[in-house]
Amino acid sequence: MSATPIYIICSPRPLVGKTLLARLLSEFLLLKNGTVTAFDINLKEPSLLEYLPRITETAEVDNTFGKMALMDRLIVNDGVAKVIDLGFHAFDEFFTMTDEIGFLKEAARRGVAPIILFVADTDRVSARGYPMLQEQIPANALVTIDNEHVVRGELPPAMGHGRIIRVPALPAFLKTYIDRLNFSFTGYLRQEKDSSTELHQWIRKNYSSFRDLELRLLLQRS
């Protein structure tokens, strides 16, 4: 069996587009593979569970039982891709835990491939969090997300190396449209016949970025 990917979408900052990215990635994987399991680790931010209740479970990392229950689900090479929407409040606790238990080594031993998607920002908290991930995460498993709605301009120099996925900013009226709880990115692609619309091209661009990321993952393990 090929490696089972785990996509961990994270930032130590709130309101940088993590849940939006988790929605996009989860819908892409569901479209491509027919199945995906998502985990929502959030307190006050927009909840992935509200958008994708059929494929999303809640998880906790602020107690030992919650940590063990989550790790038990993630460390299984079952061929079902996992997406974690990691709330900013849990950033430090989660990566302290994964470092202490040797999660990356155990994942590799079991045929599981974690990919960390760090949503960049220009603040001091992000500037401290990113080097911490660089120390713990192999370069080929750490991807910087350049959300142009958040980072208006160039990425901070420290975050401008390695793998980068750029998410173009949408006009405010389209952002409001996709923020509706009943909105589906894949549903829109299927229903909107005009592929030249800005939203159609935006979704396809992001789906293409995820497909390229998957291909690179396969190539580095072949």
Residue 215 is predicted with a pLDDT of: 87
Distance CA(101)–CA(96), nearest Å, equals 9
Lowest mean pLDDT among 26-30, 66-70, 150-154: 150-154
Domain ranges of the chain: 4-217
Q: Over range 27-49, report the average pLDDT.
A: 90
Give pLDDT, residue 82. Answer: 98
State how far the Cα of 69 lies from the Cα of 57, in Å rounded to an integer. 12
What is the per-residue pLDDT for 69? 94
Q: What percent of the chain has pLDDT over 90?
A: 87
CA distances from 120 to 44, 98, 103, 132, 142 (A): 20, 21, 23, 14, 12
Q: What confidence tens digit (pLDDT) does each residue in 135-154 have?
A: 999 999 999 999 999 998 88
Task: Please tell me the distance from the alpha carbon of residue 47 to that of residue 52, in angstroms, as a whole number.
Answer: 9
- For residue range 174-199, what is the model confidence (pLDDT) as tens digits? 999 999 999 999 999 999 989 999 99
Q: What is the pLDDT of residue 102?
A: 95
Architecture per CATH, 4-217 = 3-Layer(aba) Sandwich (3.40)
Reported confidence tier of residue 133, pLDDT bands at 50, 70, 90: very high
